[in-house]
Structure 1
Amino acid sequence: MNLVPDGRTGDMAEALRQDAGVSLEHAKTGRSGGRNARRALRTAPVFDMLPALRRGIPTCEVMDEEQIARIDDASMSILEEVGIVFRDEVALADWRAAGADVRGDRVHLDRGLVRQLISTIPSGWTYRARNPAKDLKFGGQNSIFVPMGGAPYIRGLDNERRWATLSDLQMLVKLTQMSPALHSTSHHIIEPMDVKVSHRHLEIAYSSIKYSDKTFMGMATTERNAEDVLDMAAILFGADAMDTTPVITGNANCNSPLLWDEMMLGAIRAYSRRNQPILCSPFALGGANTPASAAPTVAQLNAEALAGLSYTQVIRKGSPAIYGHFLSTVSMRSGAPMAGTPEISLMNFMIGQMARFYGVPWRSSNMLGGSKVFDAQAAYESAMTLNAVLHAGANYIWHSAGWNEGGLQCSVAKFVVDADMCAMGYRMAEGVRWDDFDEAMKAVRDVGPGGHFLGHPHTQANFERGFYMPKLFDNNSIEQWQAEGSVEITGRALEYAKRLLDEYEEPKLDQAVDEALRDYLTRRKREIPAEDALNTSY
C-alpha cells in the first residue's frame, strides 16, 4: 500500500479522483462506477495515433560552421577525386547524360553538380495515409516513428525464439496499428520465412495495407519488386494521386564503401519516377567499412548519401528523397556490430547537422541493440539511441520498436515497450508546455503551505496530460508487486501485447480495392518464378 500525502491509503491516482468526489468514468460518461470500473478505465489502452512529432527542443549541435564546412569539403573531394561506383549500366548512362565524369563504372561528381541536384529535393511534405486522419507532416521540425524492419527471427508471445512467419508479420502490423506513437508500418518488420522469397514483397505490402490504415513502407530489394509495391499503392490511392502526393516510403542501401549496386539503383529509379520518397542509406559499420574514427566516417557516409540523393534528382527533378543511413560501430574484439555507443550518438548529431546544412530531411535508426533477450543491455542501448536521435533532430526515425540481437530478431515484448518509450520520447521532444502556467500558479496560491494538489481542479484537469505515465513500468511498492505475482517487465509486456491484439479492430478496406489488390497478388505470383534469382538478396 502506498501512503498518499494526506495520510489516507490507496494509490495516488485513485486518491486524486476520490478527493474530487467523482470518478473519471463519471466525468467522461456521466455514470458512476465502482473502484474496479474506474481502474479498468484508467488502464484502458488508447489507440488514437499521435500526430507527427513537432519537435520543441533544441537540436544538439556538436560541430561549428568551420567543422561543417570541413566535412562538406571532404565529402565533395571524395565524390570528385575518388568517385563512387555505380554498378549499373542504366545509372551510368543517366550520369553521362547529366554531365558527370564517368570512367568505367566509377562516377566522379563535381560538387557544383551535386549542389545543383540536391537543391531540388523538397525539405518536407505531407504523407497521405489510407485513413486521412493519419496523414503526417514530415520534414523540418516534424518527425515520425517507424518500427523495425528485416528480422528473420521472432521472440513471440510465448517469448520463444524461432523463425518468423507471415502470421507473425500480420500480428506486428496490428500492434503497430494499436500503438499511438508509431506513425507508420515498416515494410517487413520481420521476414515471413514461410513465404517464397520471390513472393514476399507482395504479401508484405498487402499486410501493411490490409491490417493498418497508417502510412507504410514498401520493399525496394529490386526494381521489379519496387514496381510491384508501387503498383499496389496505386491501386489503393490512385496513380494520379501518387504523382503529386507521397503515400509510401522506400529504402535503398549504399554498399559502403562507395558503391551503389544495380538492385538499389533500380529501386531508386522506381520510387523517384513515381514521385515517392526513398531513403538513400549508406550501410555504415564504423571501423569495418568506414575509417575507425567518427569524423572521417561521417565524411565518407555523407559522400555516399549525397551520391544517392543526387541520383534521385537525375531521375525526376523535385522528387522527394530522404538523407539516410544505417549507422553502427564494430567491436574490434568480435567483429560484431554494436549499438548505443558514444560515437554513434556523436555521429547522429553530426549527420543531423549535415542534413540541415543541405536542407533535406533525414533518417536515423532507433532502439537498436545487440542483446539476445529483452534485458538491461537491450534497454540501455535502446534508451541511449532514442535520446540521441531525438536531440539530433532526425525526421524519419526507423527501427523504433522490436529490434534485438543486432536486428536478427524482433522481440514482441520489446516491441510494445519500445512503442511506449517512443511515446515518452515524443512527449519529451515536444518541449515544455506553458499553456496552463497561469492556472497552475493560481493552484499554488490556493493550496498554500503544507497542503497537497491531489484534489485541486487544476490537477483534476491536467494529471493525465501533465506527467506521462508509462504503460508498462511498475512503480508500485514491492509488497504490492509481490502480491500481484512479481511479474517482471517481459511478462507484463507480453500480457499487454495479448490485450492489444484482443482489442484490435481491423480498419476495413474498401471491398473493390481489396479485390483489386488480391487479383494483383494472384497475377504477379503466377508471373514471378518461384525461385527468381533476382529476389534472393533479402
Structure 2
Amino acid sequence: MPDTKTAPRARSGGRSARRTLRSAPNVQMLPGLTGQLPLCEVMNGAQVERIDLASMDVLENVGVQFRDPIALEDWRRAGAKVVGEMVYPDRGLIRDLIATIPSDFTYSARDPGKNVRLGGRHSIFVPMTGAPYLRDLDDVRRNPTLADLAMFHKLSHMMPALHSSAHHIVEPYDHPISQRHLRITYSSMKYSDKTFMGMTTSPKNAEDVMEMCAILFGAEFMEQNPVTTGNCNGNSPLVWDETMLGAMRAFCRRNQPVLCSPFVLGGANTPASVPATVAQLNAEALSALAYTQIIRRGCPAIYGHYLSTVSMKSGAPMAGTPEISLMNFMIGQMARFYGVPWRTSNTLGGAKILDAQAGYESATTLSAVIHAGANYIWHSAGWNEAGMHCSVAKFVVDAEQCAMAYRMAEGPQWGDFEQALAAIPDVGPGGHYLGHPHTQENFQTAFFMPELFDNNAIEQWVADGSKDTTERALLHARRMLDAYVEPRLDAGVDEALRDYIARREREIPPADALNQEY
C-alpha cells in the first residue's frame, strides 16, 4: 500500500527544501480523539432523572409507532404491549435492553493503523453526507457527480482530523438512484482506507452494503468487529418506519452499529421547549436503541439525533442557535446516564456561501459538541445552506477547525513543562524567546498554526493577492488533490467488489425513483 504520510522533517537541504516541506500537505490522520476537558453538564442529577422519567412515561403511555410488521412481532415476543402499530414498552424492558449495548467499541478500518475507538471520552470526526448540491473547486453551485463524490472521499482521506470517509457526501446525479448505493459504497472503500458509513436508504440497499463489507473485511471478521456505521432516522414525533427498521435489522444482524437518530425540528415536530424536546427525543432514541438489542443482544448501537430549531418567522430550520447547544449538553448527559455512545451533528451552517454567518454558526456548534463530550461527531465538514450543498471551501476549513478543536480537547500538554520553565531565567527581563533552543525545538508544535486563516500584516496580505478565506481554501483543496495518493485495494478484493456491483446493477432496474424493494 502506498505510504501517504508526510516525510519526516529534514535538517538539511537549504531554504528551497524547507519551503517545499512547509508547502507539502499534512495527511497523517490524527488518532481518535480522547477528550480531556471537563464536560459541560447543564442539568443536575435530579433534572437528568426528570428527563428519564418523562421519557419513560411517554414510552409507556403515549407509545411509539413502529410501521413495520416484523418489528411489531419482535416487540411482542420481547414482552412489550403492542396495539396495532403502537408499541408501549415498559421502563423495565427498556432498561434491560439498553443495558446490553456496549459502552464503547473500536471501528476497524481498511488500514488497521486507522482503527478508532468510540464511546466514553473517545470521539471521531466524520464529514457531512446527503448534500443534493455542491459548491465546487470554482465555488460554483451545481449538481454533483460520482467524480465529485470521489473528490470529497479523497479530501476526507487527506484531512488529518477527519476519521472517516462517510458515504454519500454529495448525491451523484449521474448514476441511477436505485443503483447509486453500490457506487457510493465502493467510492468510500476505494479512495480512503479510513472507516466509512453504509447506506440505509432501504433494507435491500443496507444488505448490499453488508455484502460489500464482507468482501472487503470478511464475514467472520465482521461478527466481532464493527467496520461501518448505518444511520436510521426516526420520523418525529414518535414514529419509526419500515425502511429504517429494515435497514437497522440488516446492520444489527451483522453486528454493525447504527445511529438511532430522531430528526428534531424544535418547535415543529417537538414541543416549543428545550427540556420537553429532549424528553421526547430521548424517548424516541431509547425505543430504537432497545430495538437494536431485540434484533441482536450485545450489538453496538449509538444514541443519535439531528438537532435543529425552526424559525417561527419562516418555518426554516436554523443552525448554531443557543438552544441547539443546550440540547447537545443535555443529550450528552442522558447518553452517559444510560452508558451508551452518542452521535451529534457538527459545523452546521445555514448560510448560502462560506461567509461570516457560516463561520459563526459552525464554530458555535463545534465548541458545544466538544464540551458536550459527543462521540460520533457527524457532519463535521462541508455542511452549508441547511445541508442543501457541500462546499469544497467550507469542507477544508471545517476540517482544519476540527483539528483545532482536537488540539483544545486534548487539554494542556505538560510533557516539556520543566524545560520550558528553564527558559525563563535564560531569557530574563526584557528579552525574547524567539532564538531560545526550547523555542527552536518546539515552535512548530507548541501552538496551532492555521493554514487557511491569514494572520499576516495587511501589507503582506495585499502583496499575496488579497485572498479571502474561500479563495485560500479552494487553492488548498487543489493542492491536496494534486498530492493525493490512492491507498490501493488488494487486487482480488477490488475485483470481487466490482463483480458484485456489476451483478447487482444487472439485477436492479435503473429506475428514476428509488424502488423500496431494492
TM-score band by shorter chain is: over 0.9
CA distance in 1, matches of 2:89, 2:510: 40
| Aligned-partner residue type, residue 120 of structure 2 | G
Tell me, what secondary structure is at the counterpart of 1:243? helix
Contact 1:26/1:33 (<8 A) preserved: no
Tell me, yes or no, if structure 1 residue 293 matches structure 2 residue 273. Answer: yes
Tell me, what secondary structure is at the counterpart of 2:9? helix
| Aligned-partner residue type, residue 185 of structure 1 | S
Name the residue aligned to 1:155: 135
What do you get for the CA RMSD once the two structures are aligned?
Answer: 1.5
CA distance in 2, matches of 1:258, 1:346: 22
Partner of residue 330 from structure 1, selected from 303, 310, 313: 310
The equivalences for 1:277-288 within 5 A come to: 277-288=257-268
Q: Shift in Å at residue 26 of structure 1?
A: 13
Q: Shift in Å at residue 458 of structure 1?
A: 1.2
Partner of residue 12 from structure 2, selected from 27, 31, 34: 31
Name the residue aligned to 1:14: none
Tell me, yes or no, if structure 1 residue 209 matches structure 2 residue 196. Answer: no
Name the residue aligned to 2:381: 401
Name the residue aligned to 1:472: 452
Tell me, yes or no, if structure 1 residue 166 matches structure 2 residue 146. Answer: yes
Q: Deviations over 1:414-462 (max 9, x none)?
A: 0000000000000001111111111110011111111111121211221
Contact 1:26/1:32 (<8 A) preserved: no
Tell me, yes or no, if structure 1 residue 482 matches structure 2 residue 462. Answer: yes
Tell me, what secondary structure is at the counterpart of 1:107? strand
Q: Deviations over 1:491-516 (max 9, x none)?
A: 00000000000000000100000000
Tell me, yes or no, if structure 1 residue 457 matches structure 2 residue 432. Answer: no
The equivalences for 1:336-485 within 5 A come to: 336-485=316-465
| Structure 2 unpaired stretches of 5+ | 1-5
Contact 1:254/1:282 (<8 A) preserved: yes
Name the residue aligned to 1:5: none
Q: Deviations over 1:52-77 (max 9, x none)?
A: 00101011010000000000000000
| Aligned-partner residue type, residue 174 of structure 1 | K
Summarize the Cα distance change of 1:301–1:312 in structure 2 as closer, same or farther, 3 Å threshold.
same
CA distance in 2, matches of 1:122, 1:269: 17
Name the residue aligned to 2:64: 84
Tell me, what secondary structure is at the counterpart of 2:246? helix
Name the residue aligned to 2:86: 106
CA distance in 1, matches of 2:375, 2:338: 14
Partner of residue 178 from structure 1, selected from 158, 161, 172: 158
Q: Shift in Å at residue 381 of structure 1?
A: 0.2
Greater alpha carbon shift after TM alignment, 165-174 vs 443-452: 443-452
Q: Structure 1 residue runs of 4+, over 3 Å off?
A: 25-28, 532-538
Q: Deviations over 1:173-209 (max 9, x none)?
A: 0000010000001111011111100011100000000
CA distance in 1, matches of 2:498, 2:406: 37
Summarize the Cα distance change of 1:27–1:304 in structure 2 as closer, same or farther, 3 Å threshold.
closer
| Aligned-partner residue type, residue 341 of structure 2 | P
Name the residue aligned to 1:19: none
Name the residue aligned to 1:304: 284
Contact 1:84/1:106 (<8 A) preserved: yes
CA distance in 1, matches of 2:261, 2:62: 19
Contact 1:221/1:535 (<8 A) preserved: no
Q: Shift in Å at residue 28 of structure 1?
A: 3.4
Contact 1:127/1:137 (<8 A) preserved: yes
CA distance in 2, matches of 1:361, 1:38: 43
| Aligned-partner residue type, residue 21 of structure 2 | L
Tell me, what secondary structure is at the counterpart of 1:427? helix
Name the residue aligned to 1:22: none
| Aligned-partner residue type, residue 488 of structure 1 | D
Summarize the Cα distance change of 1:451–1:536 in structure 2 as closer, same or farther, 3 Å threshold.
farther
Q: Shift in Å at residue 31 of structure 1?
A: 2.2
Q: Shift in Å at residue 333 of structure 1?
A: 0.5
Q: Deviations over 1:443-484 (max 9, x none)?
A: 111111111111212112211111000110001110011011
Q: Shift in Å at residue 537 of structure 1?
A: 11
Contact 1:366/1:389 (<8 A) preserved: yes
Contact 2:9/2:21 (<8 A) preserved: no
CA distance in 1, matches of 2:10, 2:331: 49
| Aligned-partner residue type, residue 110 of structure 1 | D
Greater alpha carbon shift after TM alignment, 399-408 vs 461-470: 461-470
CA distance in 2, matches of 1:534, 1:402: 26
Greater alpha carbon shift after TM alignment, 308-317 vs 43-52: 43-52
Name the residue aligned to 2:3: none
The alignment of Structure 1 onto Structure 2 pairs a total of residues equal to 513
Contact 1:277/1:319 (<8 A) preserved: yes
Tell me, yes or no, if structure 1 residue 130 matches structure 2 residue 110. Answer: yes
| Structure 1 unpaired stretches of 5+ | 1-24
CA distance in 1, matches of 2:254, 2:120: 23
Summarize the Cα distance change of 1:426–1:535 in structure 2 as closer, same or farther, 3 Å threshold.
farther
Contact 1:100/1:108 (<8 A) preserved: yes
Name the residue aligned to 2:31: 51
Percent identity over the alignment is: 67
| Aligned-partner residue type, residue 208 of structure 1 | S
CA distance in 1, matches of 2:380, 2:513: 31
Tell me, yes or no, if structure 1 residue 491 matches structure 2 residue 471. Answer: yes
| Aligned-partner residue type, residue 41 of structure 1 | L
Q: Shift in Å at residue 29 of structure 1?
A: 2.8
CA distance in 2, matches of 1:70, 1:305: 16
| Aligned-partner residue type, residue 414 of structure 1 | K
Summarize the Cα distance change of 1:501–1:80 in structure 2 as closer, same or farther, 3 Å threshold.
same
Name the residue aligned to 1:63: 43
Summarize the Cα distance change of 1:536–1:113 in structure 2 as closer, same or farther, 3 Å threshold.
closer
Contact 1:268/1:312 (<8 A) preserved: yes
Contact 1:374/1:414 (<8 A) preserved: yes
Q: Shift in Å at residue 37 of structure 1?
A: 3.4
Summarize the Cα distance change of 1:532–1:315 in structure 2 as closer, same or farther, 3 Å threshold.
farther
TM-score between the two structures when normalised by the length of structure 1: 0.94
CA distance in 2, matches of 1:194, 1:27: 41
Contact 1:447/1:453 (<8 A) preserved: yes
